[in-house]
Homo-oligomer: A and B are copies of this chain.
């Protein structure tokens, strides 16, 4: 399999793993290791980088081994998102940022207007910008035209586990994109992750599907394999679908003549 390239960095793994809501730091650590993820995401709000007296929820991880991708979750406007990202950069955490601006508290779906504005502003500040967006095809194009380094359309609402609600839109987004497309949000099980990759996505970002599984470590391994399977399946070129049967064995019997 080829590498995933985002901005100026190159990655072997096509799984980006979120670090939120694991049952314990120990399970978080083991799930991260087993997943073989090279990029870890987290909410800047949760990272107590700004409050050194508090426990740092990434403290058990050897952060030098990972690329950190903080997100701006909690921000409701572009300005809030930019301030969050700048603080993260100032503290030496990262140059990459995931724009995540929620526009609806119930569905946790992203706000297109503030997402566009925040992406533009962060690019002007020199960030490597990955933008979480809905699966709106033209919106994804408009975001890409700003110059972002990756677009991250959601498969379904964050944490919903609904999987890929609209594979056609994702396929259209992937077809038109010239930067990496990372399917983000809504993945529920390995089949969903594999499907995302089979559609031609460059990577998948997961959090709740792993951290919320009964056995997060085992699910981390499952997802790691599923993403590889999906990528290989995409590269291998699947068979066409047919409404009728297509024999793999001969239809005439040994004795039928």
State the A residues within 8 Å of B (CB): 18, 20-21, 42-46, 50, 71, 73-76, 80, 83-84, 87, 100, 102-113, 116, 134-139, 141-142, 156-162, 165-166, 168-169, 171-172, 176, 188-195, 198, 207-209, 211-216, 218-219, 221-226, 228-233, 235-256
Q: Which residues on the B side are within 8 Å of A161 (C-beta)?
A: 238-242
Query: Taking CB as reference atom, which chain B residue is nearest A113?
Result: B142
Q: Which residues on the B side are within 8 Å of A241 (C-beta)?
A: 160-162, 188
**Contact (A229, B225) CB under 8 Å given A76-B256, A112-B136:** yes
CA distance A67 to B243 in the complex (A): 32
- Are A213 and B239 closer than 8 Å at their CB atoms? yes
Q: Which residues on the B side are within 8 Å of A232 (C-beta)?
A: 190, 218-219, 221-222, 225
Query: Taking CB as reference atom, which chain B residue is nearest A156?
Result: B168
**Contact (A239, B222) CB under 8 Å given A74-B256, A159-B247:** no
Q: Which residues on the B side are within 8 Å of A76 (C-beta)?
A: 253, 256
- Are B250 and A45 closer than 8 Å at their CB atoms? yes
- Are A249 and B191 closer than 8 Å at their CB atoms? no
Q: Shortest Cβ distance from A241 into chain B, in angstroms?
A: 5
Q: Which residues on the B side are within 8 Å of A244 (C-beta)?
A: 106-108, 157, 160
Query: Taking CB as reference atom, which chain B residue is nearest A19?
Result: B248
Q: Which residues on the B side are within 8 Å of A171 (C-beta)?
A: 243
Query: Taking CB as reference atom, which chain B residue is nearest A158?
Result: B245
- Are A219 and B238 closer than 8 Å at their CB atoms? yes
- Are B222 and A236 closer than 8 Å at their CB atoms? yes
CA distance A211 to B73 in the complex (A): 45
What are 17 A-B pairs at a CB distance below 8 A? A18-B248, A73-B249, A107-B172, A108-B246, A109-B138, A110-B138, A111-B138, A157-B168, A162-B243, A168-B243, A193-B229, A194-B194, A215-B235, A218-B235, A223-B233, A226-B230, A229-B229
